[in-house]
Amino acid sequence: MRTLSYVEAIRAALAQAMRADPRVIVLGEDVAEGGPYLATEGLAQEFGRERVRNTPISESAVCGVAVGAAQAGLRPVVEIMFIDFITLALDQLVNQAAKAHFMSGGQLSAPLVLRTQGGTGGRAAAQHSQSLEAWLTHVPGLKVAMPSCATDAAGLLLSAIADPGPVVVVENKALYYRREQVPNALEPIPLGVARRLREGRDVTIVATSRLVDGALEAAEQLAAEGVEAEVLDPRTLQPLDLEPLAQSVKRTGRAVVAHEAVRIGGFGAELAAQLQAAAFDYLEAPIHRVGAPFTPVPASAGLEDAYRPGANEIVRAARSALQWEGCEELGAVAAAGGGGW
């Protein structure tokens, strides 16, 4: 084992993939200089600027070039430095990359990876802090991964690069510089395989990205109250590995779904709907959802801290699920801010 940060693990995976396959190239704004978070630092020196190409500040153009390169036989890895800017690349990503295989009757493919990052905590305000992964999971033809730790960030990226179609890897900038133990030999982690991080019998917590740490912290707090919470991370939102999540809910009878995105319309709503359908006869309470308030991310440090969902909101939602007595609970849960159903 070795100690790497989340962003160092991404860099190591990129270098490993580029050494193994000369078709792998990296595109993006300032990627030859390392990019805004140094995820591509040193790659241009090792592989040359033919394979690590700086691009104009035009997300649409970058993604369009990547689609063409992928269809011509290369394996481009595109960096969009903030997921907020993916709005400018959606035509190429959604209408071209995601549809190419289907609309060509299987004659074309677009094996590209789009790396981007979102999340709060950097005091970057409403245009540089969003969590927009739910937009992407709504598009047939796209796969979407959300790694919550360094090992997953590397392993899922390796699988994404090898995938025959377009994959979006949504990273979280609040995790970038957290250091942890990573295997010396990086191995691909299959897309569409969930991970259980903690076993429990009383309530299931399904969390994504940064909120996985919040879920583990919440489980520790609940354990002090005699509550055993099971924590699972889907790791890939599309395709979703529903079976282990549903089996957990069937065992515990209660579930909390937690993510950093705004709660209304977030991917947690899809998770809750699928879990409800799969485990309806076993549920002892409605599935509770934790997410951010339905408002743009504040620029103020104090307001952003209050805006960000975390362990405390997950604990409140879990307690509500455990104490559920009927419809009178609804108002109290909604008033709590993060929890709901």
What does the pLDDT look like over 87-100, one tens digit per residue? 999 999 999 999 99
Amino acid 131: pLDDT: 97
Catalytic residue among 8, 29, 59, 133: 59
Give the residue among 119, 143, 149, 153 at the shortest CA–CA distance from 11.
153
Single-letter amino acid, residue 294: F
Listed in order, strand segments (DSSP E) in the chain are: 2-5, 24-28, 52-54, 75-80, 113-118, 143-145, 167-172, 179-182, 195-198, 203-207, 229-233, 236-238, 255-262, 288-292
Paired tokens of 251: 């065992």
Paired tokens of 286: 């409605």
Catalytic residue among 101, 128, 259, 288: 128
Percent share of the chain, pLDDT over 70: 95
Contact 21, 186 (CB under 8 A): no
| Predicted confidence band of residue 73 (pLDDT cuts 50, 70, 90) | very high
The residues that bridge with 76 in the sheet, in sequence order, are 25
- DSSP strand pairing (2-5 vs 24-28): unpaired
Architecture of domain 195-335: 3-Layer(aba) Sandwich (3.40)
Give me the count of residues in the chain.
Answer: 341
Single-letter amino acid, residue 88: L
Q: What is the fold, at CATH topology level, of the domain defined by 2-182?
A: Rossmann fold (3.40.50)
CB-side neighbour CA atoms (13 Å) of 304: 16
d(CA 26, CA 172): 19
pLDDT at 335 over 70: no
Does 243 qualify as catalytic in the annotation? no
Average pLDDT, the chain: 95
Instruction: Assess whether the region 2-182 and the region 195-335 belong to the same CATH fold.
Output: yes
pLDDT at 329 over 80: no
The residue extents of the domains of the chain are 2-182, 195-335
d(CA 77, CA 70): 10
Give the residue among 312, 289, 270, 273 at the shortest CA–CA distance from 137.
270
Q: Kindly state the DSSP code that residue 120 receives in the 8-state scheme.
A: S
Kindly report, residue by residue over 229-241, the tens digit of the pLDDT.
Answer: 999 999 999 999 9
Contact 207, 181 (CB under 8 A): no
Does 329 qualify as catalytic in the annotation? no
Mean predicted confidence (pLDDT) in 251-274: 98
CA dihedral 93, 94, 97, 102 (to 10 degrees): 170
Give the max Cα distance, the chain.
63
Kindly report, residue by residue over 23-39, the tens digit of the pLDDT.
Answer: 999 999 999 999 999 99
- DSSP strand pairing (236-238 vs 288-292): unpaired
Q: For tokens 């912290």, what's the residue?
A: 217
| Predicted confidence band of residue 211 (pLDDT cuts 50, 70, 90) | very high
First-residue to last-residue Cα distance in the chain: 41
| Predicted confidence band of residue 325 (pLDDT cuts 50, 70, 90) | confident
Amino acid 327: pLDDT: 55
Buried b (16+ CB within 10 A) or exposed e, 21-40: eebbbbbbbebbebbbbbbb
